[in-house]
Amino acid sequence: MLKLCDLVVVVLAFVLSLIASQEQDSLSILEVRVKAINFLFMTLYVAYAHVVFHSFALYRSYRLSPSSRELRDLCSAVLVIAVPIMLLRHPLGFEFANAEFFGVFVVGAGLLLGAERRLLRIVARSMRKHGRNLRNAILVGRGDGALEMASRLARRADLGYHVTELIETDEAGNTLGPTGSATPAVERIATLIAQQPIDEVFVSLPLDSGQAIIRAIVALCEEQGITVRLASAVVEPILARAQVDEVDGRPIITIFTGPPDSLPLAIKRGIDLVLSSVAILFALPLFAVVALIIKLDSRGPVLFPQERVGFNRRRFRALKFRTMVENADQQQAALESLNEADGPVFKIRKDPRITRVGRWLRRLSFDELPQLFNVLRGDMSLVGPRPLPLRDVSRIDVRAHKRRFSVRPGITCLWQVNGREPRFEEWIKQDMEYIDNWSLSLDLRIILKTIPAVLSGRGAY
């Protein structure tokens, strides 16, 4: 059903893209499409699309995979099936294959295939909840780990797993057989496979002490073409998350903090590029006015580039409009005793180095506007923890606080819209809250709250 629906959607997207990209009447276009040569081309093209979808493993099981992984694979496959149309445009005389057709087809096919597959997922999950489309599974584990895995599969009836037997093993890899005698777990699995259809084997054994039995189970299932799923925990992370990647076919368990590389994160980057570009375009007159009054007010350059620490502790030069006297960096050491902020950061409410114009620029946050260019470059994002200078980073003495470097720094953040309290513990607490609960909707809420926070000037000095 999935394969058939995919091909129908590809044809539908092709026809709709053809209609949308041509100026002539849509009915005449449909008449052209029924010619024998076009019917032959469409047949070959559908066959090609089917091969591409198979090559991207779009018909493997996504039962235990996040929707984002399927959508990523789908988008890649759509690009691959669209490119040949453009490449064959001149050799085969495809006059319809213009840039507009290509754009409409890629977007339309991606959206239609995504919606179709999402709908089929919902239908499949509903069927599994009612006992249809189930997979027989054996669960092998030790102690509480085995029972926990069994309960997880039982709670998620929509995944469609029927656990035919739970095999508990001891440290030697043995289990109690039907007669009460100790039997190697691998032999018990082999017996069950011979007696009834088994689709998958879940293994929930410690990776250190269970190496021998895990290898034996994998070897047995490899011989008979049965899927093995390792549910063994390497460590029990508190804040981090894990995902399985691979290097040249070898599985790698990746443990990470911060938002994972995913479609929402790609959308976030797209939003950064679009909004920062538009903001720079509209703010160019303001940039010119601010630059002029800075030059008229005090000696020195208009921009103040400062080395700061960003994503994964990479250093970059953050741009700001200069709001202090020309040699402000050299004067900071003499002002350390006046620092009003606790922790590693440096803040003085009435900093003597700030110029007259600089005080107003800071109050309105206009001094941060050049960082829009840092967003375009990819050093920063519109929303994220504020990037800290090298001086502040060197004084962070709590290792957990350095987790703020696991995401791209931003122009605005939770701390900034919530009053910019000078207490570093409150600041870092809000940064951690942002990292642990990141979403596109959270970014949108912070952006909308930034405007009234800037206008109020609360905590800006």
Residue 114 and residue 154 in one domain: no
Out of 129, 152, 182, a domain closes at 129
Out of 129, 161, 193, a domain closes at 129
> Could you tell me the CATH number of the domain that includes residue 221?
3.40.50.720
Residue 274 and residue 295 in one domain: yes
Q: Which residue has the tokens 């519109």?
A: 382
Residues 392 and 402: their CA atoms lie apart, in Å, by 12
- The arrangement of strands across the sheet holding 135-141 comes to 161-168, 135-141, 200-204, 227-230
Say if 240 falls within a structural domain. no
Residue-level pLDDT at 83: 81
Residue 325 and residue 209 in one domain: no
390-396: long-range pairs with CB below 8 Å, 24+: 390/307, 390/308, 390/309, 390/315, 391/332, 391/346, 392/344, 392/345, 392/346, 393/309, 393/344, 394/344, 395/343, 395/344, 396/344
Residue 224 and residue 294 in one domain: no
Say if 242 falls within a structural domain. no
Say if 257 falls within a structural domain. no
Angle (CA) 163 169 171, round 5°: 150
Say if 461 falls within a structural domain. no
Say if 286 falls within a structural domain. yes
Kindly list the distances between the CA atom of residue 138 and the CA atoms of 141, 217, 333, in Å, as whole numbers in the listed order.
10, 11, 67
For the full predicted model, state whether its pTM sits above 0.75: no
- Two tokens, residue 219: 């070897």
Residue 200 and residue 315 in one domain: no
Q: Which residue has the tokens 């007669």?
A: 179
Residue 216 and residue 325 in one domain: no
Kindly list the distances between the CA atom of residue 174 and the CA atoms of 68, 179, 212, 281, 349, in Å, as whole numbers in the listed order.
39, 14, 12, 70, 70
When divided into structural domains, the chain yields a total of 3
Residue 342 and residue 414 in one domain: yes
Question: What is the domain range of residue 415?
Answer: 263-456
Residue-level pLDDT at 273: 93
Q: What is the pLDDT tens value at each position of the chain, 461 positions in all? A: 888 899 899 989 888 887 776 655 544 555 554 566 667 777 888 888 888 888 887 887 777 776 777 888 888 888 888 887 777 777 666 666 677 778 888 888 889 998 998 898 888 888 888 888 888 999 998 877 778 888 888 888 888 888 888 888 887 777 765 555 677 888 888 988 888 888 889 888 887 777 888 888 888 888 888 888 887 666 666 666 666 666 666 666 676 666 665 668 878 998 999 999 999 999 999 999 999 999 998 888 999 999 999 988 899 999 999 999 888 878 888 888 787 777 788 888 888 899 999 999 988 889 999 999 999 999 999 999 999 999 888 888 888 888 888 889 999 998 888 877 667 888 888 998 898 888 889 999 999 988 887 766 665 65
Say if 248 falls within a structural domain. no
Out of 86, 108, 129, a domain closes at 129
Residue-level pLDDT at 383: 94
Residue-level pLDDT at 26: 47
Residues 132 and 123: their CA atoms lie apart, in Å, by 11
Residue 288 and residue 403 in one domain: yes
Say if 255 falls within a structural domain. no
Say if 45 falls within a structural domain. yes
Residue-level pLDDT at 382: 95
Torsion, CA 174, CA 177, CA 181, CA 186, rounded to 10:
-30
Residue 35 and residue 166 in one domain: no
DSSP single-letter state for residue 171: T
Residue 173 and residue 295 in one domain: no
Residue 119 and residue 15 in one domain: yes
Residue 282 and residue 323 in one domain: yes
228: three-class secondary structure by DSSP? strand
How many CA atoms, within 13 angstroms, populate the side-chain half-sphere of residue 251? 6
Residue pair 204/152 in contact (Cβ under 8 Å)? The answer is no
Dmax of the chain from CA atoms? 95
